[in-house]
Structure 1
Amino acid sequence: MCILQLRMSKEMEELSPLVDSGHGDGSEEETEDDGEPKICQVCGDKSTGYHFNAMTCEGCKGFFRRAMKRPAQLCCPFQNTCVITKTNRRQCQSCRLQKCLSIGMKRELIMSDEAVEKRRMQIRRKKMQEEPVTLSPQQEAVIQELLTAHQKTFDMTCAHFIQFRPLDRDQKSKCSREPNSNRFTYATMHEDAVQQTISFVSPSFPYFSIQSPESKEKNRHKRAIFTSLPHFTDLTTYMIKNVINFAKTLTMFRALIIDDQISLLKGATFEIILIHFNMFFNEVTGIWECGPLQYCLDDAMRAGFQRHLLDPMMNFHYTLRKLHLSEEEYVLMQAISLFSPDRPGVKQHSVIDRNQETLALTLKTYIEAKRTEPETHLLFPKIMACLTEMRSMNEEYTKQVLKIQDIQPEVSPLLLEIISKDS
């Protein structure tokens, strides 16, 4: 932050001679044709050009601007006949002001504070356009470390997915690949299956009773509803291990105390997995194309998850995928999610906050440096909005996993450890 402040101060010093000079158009200083030194007509000091319609130095320019904006009346302690020079110009403000007015300096040429700020912004924007945004060596190193960690810990071919227990789909449960299918219409989303899932997750359902004559039939439906749960259990366990290995590879993460490492992993694992799967999402068909396997929301329904999680999750994947992020932007997004200082149980808030700020600034700079689209400036806030949206889905996901575990104890012990409240 101190470096940023110094940089801004330096920019302000560079801009100050150009702003509020009385030219009106911000033109550069005028020069004498004969090459003679320019003298301030007020105090005799070296002039820097015409300011407010007169040749003056920077000191008298600033004095005139301040005096004209000051409501108090100035009085000469002598007889209003003080001779203003470079050495004594501070001794009598009244005579100095009269000298400014006598040489033709005009009050109406003084810009308002708003106009000065607008001019500074214009100059700053022009300077930024002339000097393209580039990543610093430190930012380049951060991105490279994240990319290396991601590529080492996450297989984009999904070759290991075939080792999981099968999805156990029937013919009617195959994911639709129609390009014009509605984004919220799932291939085999039967209303009776939805109602059965809700009835088994909610103990208050009227006929939820072991003693009921329909209990055997209900158990049969329950087994049908959770047919994809074994596969999702294996898949989730595999993905969690990838996230843990990814985090442990990062220098910033390893530098944290163990308690904070655990708290960050518990808070961010689901979100990072969501970001991983977005890389495989086809926004035309609504299917996750994971190498040898394809997933649709019907598979998640048959694992026991409900619509009030799945609908927002589907909308999230469409929204994020349509941003067409690069691999660098995806991994920076993962890292920003990981280093969230407000996770439950975090102790070193300031350290993690600085890490997240570094990652966020790196992402913003990367977008400005690498993207050329007309609405590039909107991409960073859109990514941050997606990160916020994941936080609410994270809470709902935890609730639904615990409900599924109560009904069908197939949930991975590693997942239960991740979503547990205690550190």
Structure 2
Amino acid sequence: MSKENLSDWPLSHTSAEEEEEEEEDDGELKVCQVCGDRATGYHFNAMTCEGCKGFFRRAMKHPTKFCCPWQGVCVITKNNRRQCQACRLRKCQSIGMMKELIMTDEAVEKRRSQIRRKRMVEEPLLSPQQEAVIQELVNTHEKTFDITFSHFQFRPIDRDLNPMSVWNQTASGQSATLTRRMDNLSSSYSTSTPTSFSSSSCSFEGEENENEKEDRSDRGKKTVFTTLPHVADLTTYMIQNIINFAKGLPSFRALAIDDQISLLKGAMFEMMQIRFNMMFNVKTGIWECGPLTYCMDDAVRAGFQRHLLDPLMRFHYTLRNLQLQEVEYVLMQAISLFSPDRPGVIHHGVIDGLQEKVAIALKVHIDSKRAKPEKHLLYPKILACLTEMRTMNEEYTKQVLQIQDIQPGNSFDPLILEVVSKDSRARTPSRDA
């Protein structure tokens, strides 16, 4: 709270009479008609300070016969008002302060309860500027999010290969460790979040495969990632749509071109997962992308490995169980996009301001549009999901480059490789890429 706001609040608790009788400050200095001190408003029918207001209330509620030791002609001032209660009370009555306006203790408590309830009911409202920001983001999202996948041109998906053979062939020097880790897959998931992995990917022979004894180049020649062409097409399609989303925002287009590149490269994986989560079915563990459906085994058959897919699966269950509205998903994407701490970002202050604006809009939206049970800790839970995705970003890049290295002839589109590359000086991702 700012110093200006603090100065508006009295140090003592505001009484019900004060709530009812104080008038708005018009800038003119008001003087207490009893002692000449600075007045805070009309109290019991007269302009007085807080001290004289309290004195009159006490004198009327607990009547005592005051006696003036100086013949009853004292001049009451700010400095001597405590010295003669009799003359002070007489002055209060002479300026029109009325005992009848003092509320009883029961009435005061009732009034205070009403004020407290009113303040609790009042919720923050989105400002016109925040409404405009949200509407712009939602409109741009709807133009660039093909939830039916009607414009997705892809190579057919081949699910013939057992996903376990892919892991056994691509585990480079860590295959034995992966084997031990995956032996515990069924038990670990039975006590935690459900998973969409098929039974074939939940158990396999624990003995070391002969292929694991061969060198990496030989394994690469034999490895066939059957779903990789399709997954690569799907990833490219999602990247193109996310680039169009970012380019459709005037605030993003206004940034320096190097910052645009850095933000897109840094946020791409996270924004893809946010969009995929909107199509995730928690009951089946399936991503329903229009007429197309995917399970995590499809990522396995494309060459991705468990130490990325395990936390990624848990993330999708966690985020989907928050039951976010579309506008909240959109604002979540924008918070991820405008992250000032991405590698290569130059103008941190500008981007930090954009992220703060979107984050505040999300917080106010939740507070004003959600019912109390729904919004409990929702905002920090969304931020926690964004943080969790960050921990997977580097592993995703690492595995994409590893798959490309193992199977360069049947791998990723140049646009994907450009996004995961660490060179922030690469050409700007284009709308038509």
Is TM > 0.5 for Structure 1 vs Structure 2?
yes
Q: Match for residue 189 of structure 1?
A: 201
Shift of 1:182: 7.2
Match of 1:138 among 124, 129, 132: 129
Match of 1:209 among 211, 215, 224: 215
Count how many residue pairs are aligned between Structure 1 and Structure 2: 349
Q: Match for residue 341 of structure 2?
A: 342
* Partner Cα separation in structure 2 for residue 328 and residue 299 of structure 1: 29
Going from structure 1 to structure 2, the CA distance change for 1:344 and 1:50 (only over 3 Å counts) comes to: same
Q: Does residue 164 in structure 1 map to residue 164 in structure 2?
A: no
Going from structure 1 to structure 2, the CA distance change for 1:230 and 1:101 (only over 3 Å counts) comes to: farther
* Partner Cα separation in structure 2 for residue 325 and residue 335 of structure 1: 15
More displaced 10-residue stretch of structure 1: 370-379 or 243-252: 370-379
Q: Does residue 408 in structure 1 map to residue 407 in structure 2?
A: yes
* Partner Cα separation in structure 2 for residue 404 and residue 196 of structure 1: 22
Shift of 1:191: 4.1
Going from structure 1 to structure 2, the CA distance change for 1:99 and 1:272 (only over 3 Å counts) comes to: farther
Going from structure 1 to structure 2, the CA distance change for 1:400 and 1:381 (only over 3 Å counts) comes to: same
Q: What aligned pairs does 1:59-78 form with structure 2 within 5 A after superposition?
A: 60=51
Q: Match for residue 119 of structure 2?
A: 127
Going from structure 1 to structure 2, the CA distance change for 1:101 and 1:250 (only over 3 Å counts) comes to: farther
Secondary structure at the aligned position of 2:151 is classed as helix
* Partner Cα separation in structure 1 for residue 144 and residue 40 of structure 2: 65
TM-score (norm 2): 0.69
Q: What aligned pairs does 1:4-83 form with structure 2 within 5 A after superposition?
A: 5=2, 9=5, 13=8, 15-16=9-10, 19-20=12-13, 28=20, 41-43=34-36, 48=41, 57-58=48-49, 60=51
Shift of 1:134: 2.3
The C-alpha deviation readout for 1:24-74, integer Å capped at 9, x for no partner, is 9977459xxxxxxx96554487674779xxx9933647999xxxxxxxxxx
Going from structure 1 to structure 2, the CA distance change for 1:355 and 1:236 (only over 3 Å counts) comes to: same
* Partner Cα separation in structure 2 for residue 364 and residue 291 of structure 1: 31
Unaligned runs of 5+ in 1: 31-37, 65-81, 105-119, 174-179
Going from structure 1 to structure 2, the CA distance change for 1:83 and 1:346 (only over 3 Å counts) comes to: same
* Partner Cα separation in structure 1 for residue 416 and residue 328 of structure 2: 27
* Partner Cα separation in structure 2 for residue 193 and residue 59 of structure 1: 83
Secondary structure at the aligned position of 1:159 is classed as coil
Matched letter for residue 420 of structure 2: I
* Partner Cα separation in structure 2 for residue 334 and residue 271 of structure 1: 8
* Partner Cα separation in structure 2 for residue 171 and residue 403 of structure 1: 20
Are the counterparts in 2 of residues 84 and 96 from structure 1 also a CA contact under 8 Å? yes
Q: Match for residue 370 of structure 2?
A: 371
Secondary structure at the aligned position of 1:289 is classed as strand
Are the counterparts in 1 of residues 149 and 289 from structure 2 also a CA contact under 8 Å? yes
Shift of 1:408: 1.3
Going from structure 1 to structure 2, the CA distance change for 1:333 and 1:46 (only over 3 Å counts) comes to: closer
Are the counterparts in 2 of residues 270 and 394 from structure 1 also a CA contact under 8 Å? yes
The C-alpha deviation readout for 1:93-136, integer Å capped at 9, x for no partner, is 5x4555689969xxxxxxxxxxxxxxx9x968743524x43221
* Partner Cα separation in structure 2 for residue 353 and residue 185 of structure 1: 37
Shift of 1:412: 2.1
Q: Match for residue 431 of structure 2?
A: none
Shift of 1:139: 1.3
